[in-house]
A and B are shown apart, each in its own frame.
Chain A
Amino acid sequence: MKITYTALVYGFISLFLSTSCVQAVFSEDAFVIDWQLANLGPWEKIIPDARDRNRVLIVSNSTETSSLVSSFNISSGQILFRNVLPFAVDDIQLDSNDHNILVCVNSSSQKWQKFDLHDWFLLDEGVSNVPATTILPPLSYPNDQVIIKGDGLHVLDKTSGLAQWKLELPQGFDKVEYFQYEDPLTLVLNVNHTQYIGFSVNGTELIPVWQREESLTNVVDYAVLDVFDSRDVELNEDMKAEVFSDSLWDAYWLRLTTNGNRLLNLLKDNHFSPGRIFTKVLGLDSKDTTASDLKFGFAKILIVLTNDGFIGGLDMINKGQLVWKLDLQIDQAIKMFWTDENHNELVVFSHDGHYLTIGLTNNLPIIKSRSSLPVKKNVYSVIKLEEHQYQYLIKFDNANHLLFTLDPRKGMSASFPFLFHSGSRMFITEHDSDGIYGYIIENDLIKDTWQRIVTPKEKIVAYDKRGETNLNSLGITLGDKSVLYKYLYPNLAAYLVTNEELHTITFNLIDTITGEILVTQKHKDSPDFRLPTDIVFGEYWVVYSYFSSEPVPEQKLVVVELYESLIPDERLSNPSNLVCYNPLTGNVNKPQFLTKQFIFPEIIEKMTISKTTDDITTKAIVMELENGQITYIPKLFLNARGKPAEEMTNNDKKEFMATPYTPVIPINDNFVITHFRNLLPGANSKLISITTNLESTSIICDLGHDIFCTRITPSGQFDLMSPTFEKGKLLITIFILLVITYVIRPSVSSKKLKEQWLIK
């Protein structure tokens, strides 16, 4: 299903982008292709809602700076409303005067907030002078009513004290989380610390009504596992054979003959009966989406690793259903990597210096090994060195490094045993809020090369490296058919530095081999450092966001595009073999850049670039907004070469997808991919983009407190047949035409014969 003919695809892209409303989230797609795991996190405190016996109020997921207070339907297990409070809540009570008012308190700092329970409006807040609260029924279950004997749970009758209901305790039972005797009788059990099961009475039995899994909150890392599809193997073999064929013509001939044979086999299998073939072809687009999901690469297992050391596999086409879960029993997991290309084994690193390998053959995870790093220190970050499959560079909290080989035996027998020692060098770039550091690894030794340390008043707030993309075109074709060459030097990173003293934010582009700053630009419009900033680095462009407070508070989006030269048709890099570019000798040409600033109506929390298999589809910038929504805008809108519409010449307008410069980018409701979902991304969420087999389609996920996934098509679904395409009618028409030709043929030939006799 891959279309690699760039030109064809460009044609389609232009066609579909011209009808850009096609990309909207329509109601039939909403809640169908997207799914969300709305989490609460481990419950810390429950109080009944005095207004309704079915409802409770839950405090969960407290961190130092935030807490989650939720309204929860205890008899159906549904979240009614979630509210993030900006401080750690350790007690909630109802207001003593009005039971419609909730008071949330942090007892150590005496911070409190008062909410109206109907609409969750903040009524009042303060520090100290905590308002009087009503003490509701004790939160722990009454011992005289629920008794645990052996592996059974007994609910006793209030008056007689005899066992009224019995329940066999589920495996891994931890405690009774909540019990309510009054109608409706509700019992919530906590299993394995993170699983909650709600029971209610059905006649004489207690039966489980709902179940919640709260372990997969606060995701720190992820991995994607493709669901095995036998057709993939066939397709891969075809593609491999085509790649290895001698010439283009051979490859084409190969494709022609294989497909011809397939057609012949189809005919043979159906005994050359047109009726059978017809029904078979019609049956191909069955309503069953599983086959197409597999074929298009939507069927994937999203493996998430949480801070608490849980690892879970989520079925991406099945509404994120939990396929499997493992408790790794580690504190503060930080990173997870595939150790092999076939995706059979994962390695997980934890903050305290442990690492685990997890085998994933047959989709069943097993912890293969558990050991600790040779150096007993807290791990700060881990970088996988791609070429050498088992090597990782580990940075500790005290800035020391360790070049760690996961399995030395495997490392030696890996398929690239000599590459590492053949004089090839590995350059590493790391960053933290104080600086950017360059290293070189030579002969298994890590050496410092350069450092960019910021002053104490400065802070690095955002960093992104140039992502690896498939190169489809060396330049941008302008309206007059001249070319602006992209700056395609790969070793680049971009970062933002805030300066509290001067109230500026500075963008820097750095050559990561030499540490040379190539581009820098400073914004003096008094940026607000309390609000989020982010940066993304595409093929030859960088987009970053920050909030400025002057002249009016505004979310800014800045695009920087890098070119070899700003003069059309001028190429400064020399592709001939005579010139050997080496970043270390400094003979690499420097970029020239164009920049433009835009205003965005919402505060942008995080950004990412949509990824597709071949990078032919136009890129979209996916943004997580502060209000918990996720939206995206095509990169074409953020055009650094854009001119106001009235200044555009005819030639400018001729350029492919030329958009005039509009300084304010509106949010199109159709591009809000979370539509009316309530998403809590959390502070450290990850916005990711995963490729599918369809070039047009990219999976977007937001992993954090909640897990949300959906699919976007930034250039429209150009490689998927529209659902209104009437295959049946088309086939019938062809069939009828064939029949007509067959019937008419004898009469036409006799007519021809007659003509020859009569006239000539």
Chain B
Amino acid sequence: MSQQEPYEWAKRLLDTKYIEKYSIQNSNTLPSPPGFEGGASKGNISKKQQDAVSQTTTVARKNQITTLQVQKAWQIALQPAKSIPMNIFMSYMSGTSLQIIPIMTALMLLSGPIKAILSTRSAFKPVSGNKETQSQVQTAMFMFIAFQGVLMYIGYRKLNSMGLIPNAKSDWLPWEKVVHYNHGSQWFSD
């Protein structure tokens, strides 16, 4: 076994010249996949052509990015809207009895949107910073806040139906003052 010839690959590994002898094909010369004429195929075309192409593609790309950003912004904005029907159904089904689980879910419906509204900017960070899309992203942001508001309203309705929102006169009855009719006078009867 010890007299056996070493493997070919092991020899090449130790031979420092081998790598220089090896012909390398430039990846730029490789043809692009069909329908793909981006910057990767630069090597195949002349400089002039290249410029012309790059000009048209940057416009197209910009347009594409804008639409993509707007799409993305609307996706973010519509995310809370998707949970609205589910929340309505859940809060309807869980009844108005005072139990810890429905109270917790209702409180989460109130607190979640507040947190979400406060972090609207960070939620829209991936799509913000583009002047062209700014107005549309802002509309999306506004809708995002509106949908969060709807979620909050569901939570509020839920808490209110459980009687946990002190919005009626009876909630403040213990704080109302007593009227004193007899100032200093007293009344006795047999």
Contacts and interface: CB of A to CB of B under 8 A. Distances in A.
A425 B173 contact: no
Interface in B155-190: 163, 168-171, 173-174, 176-190
B77 to A, nearest CB: 36
A686 interface: no
Given A430-B189, A481-B163, A422 B181 contact: no
B182 A490 contact: yes
Contact of B188 (A393, A423, A478): A393
Secondary structure at the A interface, as helix, strand, loop or mixed, is loop
B185 A426 contact: yes
Nearest to A7: B174
A422 B185 CA distance: 10
Contacts of A471: 178
A575 B177 contact: yes
Contacts of A483: 168-170, 173
Contact of B181 (A423, A481, A569, A583): A583
A581 B181 contact: yes
Contacts of B179: 488, 573-575, 581
| B contact residues, range | 20 to 34
Interface string A414-430: 00000000111111111
Contact of A588 (B169, B170, B177, B181): B181
Contacts of A580: 183
Nearest to B165: A481
Given A581-B181, A583-B181, A381 B190 contact: yes
Interface string A399-439: 00000000000000000000000111111111100000000
| A contact residues, range | 35 or more
B170 A475 contact: yes
Contacts of A482: 168-170
A480 to B, nearest CB: 8
B168 A491 contact: no
B169 A569 contact: yes
A474 B187 contact: no
A442 to B, nearest CB: 10
A512 B189 contact: yes
Contacts of B183: 580-582
A513 interface: yes
Contacts of A583: 181-182
Interface string A496-516: 000000000000000011000
Contacts of B173: 473-475, 477, 483
B15 to A, nearest CB: 45
Interface centre among B176, B178, B185, B189 (most CB of A within 10 A): B189
Contacts of A424: 184-186
B159 to A, nearest CB: 13
B188 A383 contact: yes
A427 B177 contact: no
A481 B187 contact: no
A477 B172 CA distance: 11
A246 interface: no
Given A473-B174, A477-B173, A422 B184 contact: yes
A422 B183 CA distance: 12
A490 B181 contact: yes
Nearest to A576: B177
Nearest to B167: A481
Secondary structure at the B interface, as helix, strand, loop or mixed, is loop
A493 B189 CA distance: 9
Contacts of A82: none
Nearest to B168: A481
B189 A383 contact: yes
Contacts of A581: 179-181, 183
Interface string B39-80: 000000000000000000000000000000000000000000
B177 A423 contact: no
A481 B170 CA distance: 6
A652 B116 CA distance: 39
A524 B177 CA distance: 41
Nearest to B184: A424
B170 A465 contact: no
A188 B184 CA distance: 60
Nearest to B179: A573
B174 A490 contact: no
A473 B188 CA distance: 24
A429 B188 contact: yes
Given A575-B177, A581-B180, A427 B185 contact: yes
Contacts of A575: 176-179
A385 interface: yes
Interface string A376-401: 00000101111100000100000000
Contacts of B169: 481-483, 569
A489 interface: yes
A431 B190 contact: yes
B178 to A, nearest CB: 6
A429 B183 CA distance: 18
Interface in B21-51: none
Nearest to A492: B187
B188 A426 contact: yes
Nearest to A489: B181
Nearest to B185: A425
Nearest to B172: A483
A513 B188 CA distance: 10
B183 to A, nearest CB: 7
Contacts of A473: 173-174
Nearest to A480: B168
A18 B156 CA distance: 30
Interface string A295-335: 00000000000000000000000000000000000000000
Contacts of B177: 575-576
A573 B163 CA distance: 27
Contacts of A481: 163, 168-171
Given A488-B178, A580-B183, A581-B181, A385 B168 contact: no
B68 to A, nearest CB: 41
Contacts of A386: 186, 188
B187 A512 contact: yes
A110 to B, nearest CB: 40
A31 B183 CA distance: 48
Interface string A546-576: 0000000000000000000000010101111
Contacts of A478: 170
A383 B176 CA distance: 35
A393 B186 CA distance: 14
B181 A427 contact: no
B104 to A, nearest CB: 20
Contacts of A385: 186, 188
Contacts of A6: 174
A513 B180 CA distance: 15
A316 B185 CA distance: 37
Interface string B91-122: 00000000000000000000000000000000
A390 B82 CA distance: 79
Interface in A215-239: none
Interface in A424-470: 424-431, 465
Nearest to B182: A490
B166 to A, nearest CB: 9
Contacts of B190: 381, 383, 429-431
Nearest to B170: A477
Given A426-B185, A429-B190, A581-B179, 19 more contacts: A387-B186, A423-B184, A424-B185, A426-B187, A428-B188, A429-B189, A430-B190, A477-B173, A481-B168, A482-B170, A490-B181, A490-B187, A512-B187, A513-B187, A571-B176, A575-B179, A581-B180, A581-B183, A582-B181
25 contacts: A383-B188, A383-B189, A425-B184, A425-B186, A428-B188, A429-B187, A429-B188, A429-B189, A431-B190, A475-B173, A477-B170, A481-B168, A481-B169, A482-B170, A483-B170, A488-B179, A490-B181, A491-B182, A512-B187, A513-B185, A513-B187, A569-B169, A571-B176, A581-B179, A582-B183
Top 6 closest pairs, chain A to chain B, by CB: A481-B168, A575-B177, A477-B170, A424-B184, A465-B189, A429-B189
